[in-house]
Chains A and B, each alone.
Chain A
Amino acid sequence: MGLLSILRKLKSTPDQEVRILLLGLDNGGKTTLLKQLASEDISHITPTQGFNIKSVQSQGFKLNVWDIGGQRKIRPYWRNYFENTDVLIYVIDSADRKRFEETGQELAELLDEEKLSGVPVLVFANKQDLLTAAPASEIAEGLNLHTIRDRAWQIQSCSALTGEGVQDGMNWVCKSVNAKKK
């Protein structure tokens, strides 16, 4: 994916193409999720210092998924990628309770962004394969997801490692895109 392909993915997408932005704190499992979606090997994943883009076919859509690094120093650059976003996927490490507050704050800021206004948001409560993982219901409550009124939202528990729950989440993504494009 050279620079030119990135430009082509940048322009407002035709009807069958969907631009998905994958965000969340570092070590949340975004890149693992991306690779799981693309059916790629997930055994050697290192912290993302920039971004990864992959295209996957699902339910008649071409999903162009942008995985953006989540380390604190590069979070201010998330907004580089907001333009033309169809769906936001926010990934949370359900076992990292110490950072629930931080991740909630980042999500709240994203939902306030003008360029993302009205964009449907899917929250993946990831790492459910870990024993210490908080259930999706607890995370939803902690993040006050129920107060979101200005867009469609969904929380889905999943394990990017085993793949469990990932497809359910993507089904919701396609459903909400269908609803929006009609």
Chain B
Amino acid sequence: MKLKRFLLRYYPPGIILEYETGGALKTKSIDLLDLSPETDIEELISEIRKSEPLITASRINQVKLLILRLKDKLSQQNDHRFYLFKELQAHILPLTNVVFNKSGSSFITGSYDRTCKVWDTASCEELHTLEGHRNVVYAIAFNNPYGDKIATGSFDKTCKLWSAETGKCFHTFRGHAAEIVCLAFNPQSTLLATGSMDTTAKLWDIQTGEEVATLTGHSGEIISLSFNTVGDQLVTGSFDHTISLWDVSSGSRRVHTLIGHRGEISSVQFNWDCSYIISGSMDKTCKVWESASGKCMATLAGPKDEVLDVCFDSTGHFIATASADGTAWVYSAASYQCVARLEGHDGEISKICFNPQGSRILTASVDKTARLWDVQSGVCLQVLDGHKDEIFSAAFNYEGDTIITGSKDNTCHIWR
């Protein structure tokens, strides 16, 4: 094994090692999820040396510089004020979802008008209209970090794979018996997972366009799914009140069924190091599960109504939940204690996410506003006001300095 070069990853902090083994180029990452501006560098380096044979004495200074750069990034003050940069008359019918590519250079919008559009973030120009679906385009995704492909899942029961560069359709995946409502690329961008109202999830080969597996076992609609960071496991959440954990590498076996919620599941996600899964449910709680054992570690209660969305921050230190009662909650992933309660929305919150730095939370609500919150204090920093109808989706770019919101009012707003 020979180390070729280092790559830096800001969010979550980490150093990627590119190395050669048996003539092939490979990468592995050293995750520095606990890095803070106060971290003792010498101590950290000696720890890294112990666990990573590729880091030899001659490389120490290089690694030290990289960690310094990460620390610099972490200590940057973030007091960015967002303003409405552009209102895009994006579609002729309501939007469903909005998603950035990894670099944030472009983003996509899905709509009830059966199209998905690709936009250039800087110029706000429409680059492509992805046409071909015969019903609502509901779920959309970039194959991040690459960003050269786009997947669209539709109420027409099909999923399509497109070139992000040319807008050409590579494949149409047929096989689901009902609406496709969630989808995700695996991190290697070799597989696409789709979840459907037909109670199954399917895995598709990106290259050949063939179906690889059908994941059966749920008795209700699959409403949310997500790969872990490594890409060997997939988690699915269903209206049948359960969550399933699937081993994707070995013939798509169901590893665990996570039972405990007393209502439909709304959202599921892994943390970065793949050790935990969180799930939001109509039973007004969020549960934390250990992926290895499938055991429920904690039930995060508080909201007075259904939990509609849940997410980890990029390092996995915090959990945020959004509720139909108009409140959002932030919990420590270590102690499961509530850190902050975000109050102010005048109606249900349908989407919640952290900025990549983990210092801010963005919420989207039926009250026609999106709001920006400080994670530590729970203070509302900004109300992003301007949409004329409910906001269905909202997202940060990777830098955390641009926000897009998609609304039932057929427009997409870009905030900078």
Enumerate chain A interface residues (CB-CB to B < 8 A).
1-4, 7-8, 10-11, 49-51, 69, 73-74, 77, 79-80, 83
Contacts and interface: CB of A to CB of B under 8 A. Distances in A.
Interface in B372-416: 389-390, 392-393, 408-410
Contacts of B181: 7
Contacts of B221: 7, 11
Contacts of B390: 1-2
A73 B113 CA distance: 10
Interface in B225-282: 239, 264, 266
A123 B111 CA distance: 30
Given A2-B348, A2-B392, A77-B112, A10 B96 contact: no
B140 to A, nearest CB: 12
A11 B239 contact: yes
Interface in B97-128: 97, 112-114
Interface residues of B, number: 32
B96 A3 contact: yes
A10 to B, nearest CB: 7
Interface centre among B92, B266, B390, B393 (most CB of A within 10 A): B92
A50 B308 contact: no
A73 B92 contact: yes
A50 B221 CA distance: 25
A83 to B, nearest CB: 8
Contacts of B185: none
A2 B410 contact: no
Contacts of A49: 92-94, 409-410
17 contacts: A2-B348, A2-B351, A2-B366, A3-B350, A3-B392, A4-B308, A7-B181, A7-B197, A11-B197, A50-B389, A50-B409, A51-B112, A69-B93, A73-B92, A77-B112, A79-B135, A80-B155
Nearest to A79: B135
Nearest to B113: A77
Interface centre among A2, A10, A11, A50 (most CB of B within 10 A): A2
Given A8-B239, A80-B136, 13 more contacts: A2-B351, A3-B350, A4-B223, A7-B181, A8-B264, A10-B155, A50-B94, A50-B112, A50-B389, A51-B93, A74-B92, A77-B93, A83-B155
B407 to A, nearest CB: 10
A79 B136 CA distance: 10
Interface centre among A11, A50, A73, A77 (most CB of B within 10 A): A50
B350 A2 contact: yes
B113 to A, nearest CB: 6
A14 to B, nearest CB: 12
Interface centre among B93, B135, B351, B389 (most CB of A within 10 A): B93
B313 interface: no
A50 B410 CA distance: 8
A85 B284 CA distance: 30
A1 B366 contact: yes
Contacts of B351: 2
B153 to A, nearest CB: 12
A83 B389 CA distance: 25
A79 B92 CA distance: 15
Given A11-B197, A80-B136, A80-B155, A50 B93 contact: yes
A69 B366 CA distance: 20
B89 to A, nearest CB: 11
Contacts of A83: 155, 179
Contacts of B393: 3
A77 B393 CA distance: 22
B93 A74 contact: yes
A125 B113 CA distance: 29
A80 B409 contact: no
Interface centre among A10, A73, A83 (most CB of B within 10 A): A10
Contact of A77 (B97, B114, B392): B114
